[in-house]
């Protein structure tokens, strides 16, 4: 356990104008889970790209020692030959190929260039058992959820006789269940002697599995903590990441809660492709003006489907139920009507559903408000720019100019652009779906501040999140969702009176409450 398997010494990597890595040192012991943490842009991914040969020898300074040998990788192939395999955040699987085909992609089990299917499936089956993937090896990857796809990636890594497994934000797209599975698997692989480097934003995960934690900040190694000896509490790690004590990860707030603004009654939604599958089952909820209501649910619980079906029936079919605003029933059959009635929906996936990445900041901000910014369909471009500039200041969007292409902004600033877009429509009800996903700690705090300001302005806000701390820290009241139903509600009194640990446990219980079958005695 104490033998050093990997040592990176004095790694410096410069990009034009930026020093991404500045004399970074990293020592990984054999058979451990080594967590690499840091804010976005701290250099974690760059360091791993240096290690895996994405940035070949010669493009960086410093030395890489793997198993007591100096390594000079020219590409990923060479690092993989040594048993270093990196699994990126965006999975690199081919959706139309089977699990087995994906596992051996590039290393096909073949005799004289002709695939040996028997061997392929047999070996795939063995690897899948090792990672706990209970599927047929012939299943197409497109039919798997993200969690299982992640397992395929790991099986693929195992097929290459991996010694050092690098996982870049492996649980970012996973729900709590799948995340737990994955972490258990890492621990299992550790027992089999496989060393892992885990890059993650989720500090609770790190705390639970990591043996050693290295903290990077601004391209430098700040410190390495040993879980066996040092204090590795979340606050301790955060202190290292941001270099200052964060006593409040959520800004202080005095809630001013008014009357019921938005109410949903008996909302039922069926799956768009499978007409007899109920995705949302008789959901009832309400939000008061000035109130922030959290919806906590695991991925697959129907929280995004609920939000999108409420927002102009953008998801699902055979939708029934009532939507009331300020006590009156409203018809919301398409997005235009939703916007007209003062609804706004910020998607969990800003790149796919929120932004036109190839267009600039102004045009993204104005995208949902063009009719208000025009006279007889001719745009008032001056007013458009003025409004965008006002929001840029209010939201503290860091961009060299309003003409900057949105793709070039950081995740936090992109999210602020999406928020600006919806604030410009002057909504009364905002549904924020995972508003801080993939955003660094500093930007998260700013987003929370913005959410508070919106609530203070009397808007009714629904925040959907799978991060329990976020839901608890942000909400005045919480609904939990499970299997398309509202499985529980945590009142404001409970939120203020109970401890964080207690609340999290309670929420987790409600979120996994699968109804009468096994959840009856859980609450």
* Phi-psi domain of 482 (left: phi exceeds 0; alpha: psi -120 through 50; beta: other): beta
Indicate whether 355 belongs to the interface with other proteins (CB under 8 A). Answer: yes
- For other proteins, the binding residues in 311-350 under the rule CB under 8 A are 311-312, 314, 335-336, 338-339, 345, 347
Which residue lies nearer to other proteins by CB, 36 or 338? 338
Stretch that binds other proteins, among 134-142, 153-161, 365-373, 486-494 (CB under 8 A): 365-373
Number of residues forming the site for other proteins (CB under 8 A): 37
Q: Which residue pairs from 65-71 have beta carbons closer than 8 angstroms and sit at least 24 positions apart in sequence?
A: 65/6, 65/7, 65/8, 65/9, 66/5, 66/6, 66/164, 67/5, 67/163
Residue of 7, 116, 135, 359 that binds other proteins (CB under 8 A)? 359
Binding mask 228-267 for other proteins (x = CB under 8 A): ----------------------------------------
Helix segments in 316-438, DSSP class H: 335-340, 361-366, 381-395, 411-424
Which residue lies nearer to other proteins by CB, 224 or 410? 410
Which residue lies nearer to other proteins by CB, 422 or 479? 422
Residue of 12, 23, 224, 385 that binds other proteins (CB under 8 A)? 385
Residue of 171, 175, 366, 414 that binds other proteins (CB under 8 A)? 366
Report the interhelical angle of 441-456 vs 234-242 (nearest 10°).
100
Stretch that binds other proteins, among 64-72, 74-82, 318-326, 354-362 (CB under 8 A): 354-362
Mode of pairing for the β-strands spanning 164-168 and 195-199: parallel
Pseudo-torsion of CA 177, 182, 183, 184, nearest 10°? Answer: 90
Binding mask 24-63 for other proteins (x = CB under 8 A): ----------------------------------------
Q: What is the H or E stretch that residue 99 is in?
A: helix 99-103
Which residue lies nearer to other proteins by CB, 184 or 381? 381
Which residue lies nearer to other proteins by CB, 206 or 431? 431
Which residue lies nearer to other proteins by CB, 12 or 374? 374
Which residue lies nearer to other proteins by CB, 319 or 335? 335
DSSP one-letter string for 456-504: HTT-EEEEEES-HHHHHHH-SEEEEEETTEEEEEE-HHHHHHS-HHHHH
Indicate whether 414 belongs to the interface with other proteins (CB under 8 A). Answer: no
Surface-to-core class of residue 231, CB atoms within 10 Å of its CB (0-12 exposed, 13-18 middle, 19+ buried): exposed
Residue of 288, 421, 437, 444 that binds other proteins (CB under 8 A)? 421
Show the tokens assigned to 38. Answer: 């840091």
Mode of pairing for the β-strands spanning 343-346 and 317-325: unpaired
Contact 402, 360 (CB under 8 A): yes
Residue 78 neighbours by CB under 8 Å, 6+ apart: 53
- Cβ of residue 351: shortest distance to other proteins, in angstroms? 8
- Cβ of residue 419: shortest distance to other proteins, in angstroms? 13
Residue of 7, 177, 389, 453 that binds other proteins (CB under 8 A)? 389
Residue of 113, 118, 248, 382 that binds other proteins (CB under 8 A)? 382
- Cβ of residue 34: shortest distance to other proteins, in angstroms? 31
Q: What is the H or E stretch that residue 288 is in?
A: strand 278-288
Which residue lies nearer to other proteins by CB, 52 or 425? 425
Give the separation between CA 256 and CA 238, rounded to whole angstroms: 31
Which residue lies nearer to other proteins by CB, 208 or 403? 403
List the one residue out of 489, 493, 471, 472 whose CA is nearest residue 480: 489
Give the separation between CA 273 and CA 250, rounded to whole angstroms: 40
Residue of 220, 236, 317, 363 that binds other proteins (CB under 8 A)? 363
3-state secondary structure of 135: coil
- Cβ of residue 96: shortest distance to other proteins, in angstroms? 18
The number of beta carbons lying within 10 Å of the beta carbon of residue 316 is: 20
Which residue lies nearer to other proteins by CB, 78 or 337? 337
Indicate whether 394 belongs to the interface with other proteins (CB under 8 A). Answer: no
Which residue lies nearer to other proteins by CB, 152 or 462? 462
Beta bridge partners of 483: none
Which residue lies nearer to other proteins by CB, 57 or 353? 353
Show the tokens assigned to 226. Answer: 């040993």
- Cβ of residue 229: shortest distance to other proteins, in angstroms? 44
Note the residues at the interface with other proteins (CB under 8 A): 311-312, 314, 335-336, 338-339, 345, 347, 352-359, 363, 366-368, 370-371, 374, 377-379, 381-382, 385-386, 389, 400-403, 421
């Amino acid at each position: 356990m104490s033998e050093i398997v990997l040592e990176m010494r004095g790694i410096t990597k410069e990009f034009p104008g930026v020093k991404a890595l500045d004399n970074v040192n990293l020592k990984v012991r054999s058979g451990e889970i080594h967590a690499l943490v840091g804010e976005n842009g701290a250099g974690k991914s760059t360091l791993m790209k240096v290690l895996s040969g994405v940035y070949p020898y010669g493009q960086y300074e410093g030395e890489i020692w793997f198993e007591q040998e100096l390594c000079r990788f020219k590409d990923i192939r060479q690092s993989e030959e040594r048993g270093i395999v990196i699994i990126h955040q965006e999975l690199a699987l081919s959706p139309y190929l089977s699990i087995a085909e994906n596992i051996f992609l590039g290393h096909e089990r073949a005799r004289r260039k002709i695939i040996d299917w028997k061997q392929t499936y047999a070996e795939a089956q063995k690897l899948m058992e090792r990672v706990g993937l209970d599927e047929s090896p012939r299943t197409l990857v497109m039919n798997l959820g993200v969690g299982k796809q992640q397992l395929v990636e790991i099986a693929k890594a195992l097929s290459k006789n991996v010694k050092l497994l690098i996982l870049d934000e492996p649980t970012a797209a996973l729900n709590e269940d799948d995340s737990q599975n994955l972490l258990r698997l890492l621990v299992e692989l550790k027992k089999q002697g496989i060393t892992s480097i885990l890059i993650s934003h989720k500090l609770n995960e790190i705390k639970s599995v990591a043996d050693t934690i290295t903290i990077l900040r601004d391209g430098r190694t700040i410190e390495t903590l040993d879980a066996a000896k040092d204090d590795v509490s979340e606050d301790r790690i955060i202190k290292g990441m941001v270099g200052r004590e964060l006593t409040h990860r959520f800004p202080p707030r005095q809630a001013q809660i008014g009357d019921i603004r938005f109410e949903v009654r008996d909302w039922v939604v069926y799956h768009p492709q499978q007409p007899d599958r109920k995705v949302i089952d008789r959901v009832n909820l309400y939000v008061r003006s000035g109130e922030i209501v959290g919806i906590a649910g695991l991925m697959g619980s129907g929280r995004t489907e609920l939000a999108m079906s409420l927002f102009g029936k953008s998801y699902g079919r055979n939708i029934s139920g009532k939507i009331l605003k300020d006590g009156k029933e409203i018809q919301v059959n398409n997005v235009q009507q939703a916007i007209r009635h003062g609804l706004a929906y910020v998607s969990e996936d800003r790149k796919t559903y929120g932004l036109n990445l190839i267009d600039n900041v102004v045009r993204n901000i104005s995208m949902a408000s063009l009719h208000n910014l025009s006279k007889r369909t001719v745009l008032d471009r001056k007013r458009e720019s003025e409004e965008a500039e006002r929001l840029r200041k209010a939201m503290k969007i860091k961009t060299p100019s309003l003409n900057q292409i949105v793709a070039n902004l950081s995740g936090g600033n992109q999210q602020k652009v999406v928020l600006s877009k919806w604030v410009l429509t002057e909504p009364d009800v905002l549904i924020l779906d995972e508003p801080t996903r993939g955003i660094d700690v500093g930007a998260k705090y700013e987003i929370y501040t913005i959410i508070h300001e919106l609530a203070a302005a009397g808007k009714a806000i629904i925040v959907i999140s799978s991060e329990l701390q976020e839901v608890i820290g942000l909400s005045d009241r919480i609904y939990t969702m499970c299997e398309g139903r509202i499985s529980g509600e945590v009142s404001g009194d409970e939120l203020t009176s109970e401890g964080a640990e207690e609340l999290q446990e309670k929420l987790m219980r409600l979120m996994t409450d699968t109804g009468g079958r096994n959840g009856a005695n859980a609450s």
